[in-house]
């Protein structure tokens, strides 16, 4: 029996929602451990599309327990809206199958406003955030002035905590010529929804310890991708949390020995949303083809994703950083109609060949990809359910990818549908 962590090995949008949903048929518990409602997971089940932002992907399955860990920042109104939205599609959501960490930090309206103010003021230096208040909420968490789920229990405590956090935010707002934020209305608004949020609240670290002792299979679900990690990503064009696999331990309150297998979700090409370096980006007809065929638009923002060739250098790097044991290859079918397929196997920087992405953003923006070219397979892989049935050129591409990234491909996804997945290695076994 293994507990599995699922992370994105690129810049997010790798298809984690489908893979986590597919794996959750074996899991008993599905846990979100970082991020907020800026990261969307799209699931397509029996022709019904579910777009999840905060709720773990296991919520759409019966007899599974979904957990939002302490490492997640929670917009309480967005969460309640999402619960109602999923209920309207016939999915049951109750304290029996959803648990929220009492230590999770809240995203409040002034966080969203601060996100918008900063992004608008940044001009060409903007990061490309989703403007949902994620970054400012994490800043308050680290600054020890945040409002947490547990603070909703007490009127007096909530009042004190709001005074503390607004003293900080209103000083900044005043300096920027913005209206100061009023405490009393926000406090009353929070107290109105407090009972709905608190009914799901529990000490998650304790619940996970109980589940471990009961030999339950736990699936830890990450948001975004490793290249957006605040420490290991393309800084400063990153998210505000740690997206690597080890965050599953800190973001839920379980030890690292709880993690037995790390699965990296990896797209057969590369995409990125927002600003920042992207060595293999294609601004031509092929890039447009990848975007249209792969329906590369953000689940949360509907923003068009930038598209490019598979970057083996980056994926090999994130595999080592996050301790990935195997990759789940997604969207192979998007490449079906191409005459040739390319894979980045090195970079050129200032006339020198290098085998990793340097940390300085100035260098990241200057690196030029060195490609290995493969013949396309020019036939449909969509819906294929065994490796042997894949076209020979597709098999060659996957085999060469495995060799280069030094990690086994554990599964291959050939369409958005849950059933269209080739299983090569079961992470839970």
Which residues on adjacent β-strands are paired with residue 261?
4
Q: What DSSP character marks residue 404? A: H
Contact 276, 237 (CB under 8 A): yes
d(CA 176, CA 371): 47
d(CA 101, CA 253): 10
Length of the chain: 429
Contact 414, 420 (CB under 8 A): yes
SS3 content of the chain, % helix, strand, coil (to 5): 35, 20, 40
How many angstroms separate the Cα of 394 from the Cα of each of 80, 376, 380? 44, 7, 10
How many angstroms separate the Cα of 98 from the Cα of each of 148, 196, 422? 18, 12, 30
d(CA 306, CA 265): 18
Residue 387, SS3 per DSSP: helix
Enter the tokens of residue 288. 């447009």
CB atoms within 10 A of CB 51: 14
CB atoms within 10 A of CB 90: 8
Q: How far is the first Cα of the chain from the last one, in angstroms, to the nearest whole number?
A: 6
Residues 177, 180, 186, 187, CA torsion sign: positive
Contact 262, 5 (CB under 8 A): yes
| Residue 37 designated active-site | no
| Residue 363 designated active-site | no
Catalytic, out of 21, 37, 41, 115: 41
d(CA 130, CA 273): 10
d(CA 97, CA 23): 17
Enter the tokens of residue 169. 């935010």
Catalytic, out of 13, 115, 311, 420: 13
Q: Which phi and psi angles does 359 have, rounded to 5°? A: -80, -30
Structure-token match 């839920």, residue found: 252
Q: Which phi and psi angles does 210 have, rounded to 5°? A: -65, -45
Instruction: List residues with catalytic annotation.
Output: 13, 41
């Amino acid at each position: 029996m293994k507990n599995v962590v699922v992370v994105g090995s690129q810049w997010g949008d790798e298809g984690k929602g489908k893979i986590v949903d597919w794996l959750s048929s074996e899991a008993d518990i599905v846990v979100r451990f970082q991020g907020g409602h800026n990261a969307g997971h799209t699931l397509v089940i029996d022709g019904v599309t579910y777009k999840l932002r905060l709720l773990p992907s296991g919520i759409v399955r019966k007899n599974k327990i979904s957990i939002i860990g302490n490492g997640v920042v929670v917009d309480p109104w967005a969460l309640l809206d999402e619960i109602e939205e999923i209920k309207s599609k016939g999915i049951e959501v109750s304290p029996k199958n959803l648990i929220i960490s009492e230590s999770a930090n809240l995203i409040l309206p002034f966080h969203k406003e601060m996100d918008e103010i900063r992004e608008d003021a940044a001009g060409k230096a903007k990061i490309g955030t989703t403007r949902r208040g994620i970054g400012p909420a994490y800043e308050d968490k680290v600054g020890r002035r945040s409002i947490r789920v547990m603070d909703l229990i007490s009127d007096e405590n909530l009042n004190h905590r709001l005074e503390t956090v607004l003293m900080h935010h209103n000083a900044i707002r005043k300096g920027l010529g913005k209206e100061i934020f009023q405490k009393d209305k926000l406090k009353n608004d929070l107290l109105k929804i407090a009972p709905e949020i608190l009914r799901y609240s529990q000490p998650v670290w304790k619940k996970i310890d109980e589940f471990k002792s009961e030999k339950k299979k736990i699936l830890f679900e990450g948001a975004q991708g490793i290249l957006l990690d605040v420490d290991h990503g393309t800084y400063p064009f990153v998210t505000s949390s740690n997206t690597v696999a080890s965050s599953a331990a800190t973001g839920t309150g379980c030890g690292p020995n709880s993690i037995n297998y790390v699965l990296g979700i990896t797209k057969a090409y590369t995409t990125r949303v927002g600003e920042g370096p992207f060595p293999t980006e294609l601004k031509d007809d092929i890039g447009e083809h990848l975007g249209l065929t792969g329906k590369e638009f953000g689940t949360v923002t509907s923003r068009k994703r930038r598209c490019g060739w598979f970057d083996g250098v980056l994926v090999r790097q994130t595999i080592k950083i996050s301790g990935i044991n195997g990759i789940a290859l997604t969207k192979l079918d998007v490449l079906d109609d191409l005459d040739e397929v390319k894979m980045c196997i090195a970079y050129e920087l200032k006339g020198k060949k290098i085998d990793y992405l340097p940390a300085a953003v100035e260098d990241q923006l200057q690196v030029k990809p060195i490609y290995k070219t493969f013949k396309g397979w020019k036939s449909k892989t969509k819906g294929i359910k065994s490796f042997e049935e894949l076209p020979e050129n597709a098999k060659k591409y996957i085999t060469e990818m495995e060799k280069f990234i030094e990690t086994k491909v554990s599964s291959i996804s050939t369409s958005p549908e849950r059933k269209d997945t080739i299983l090569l290695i079961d992470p839970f076994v």
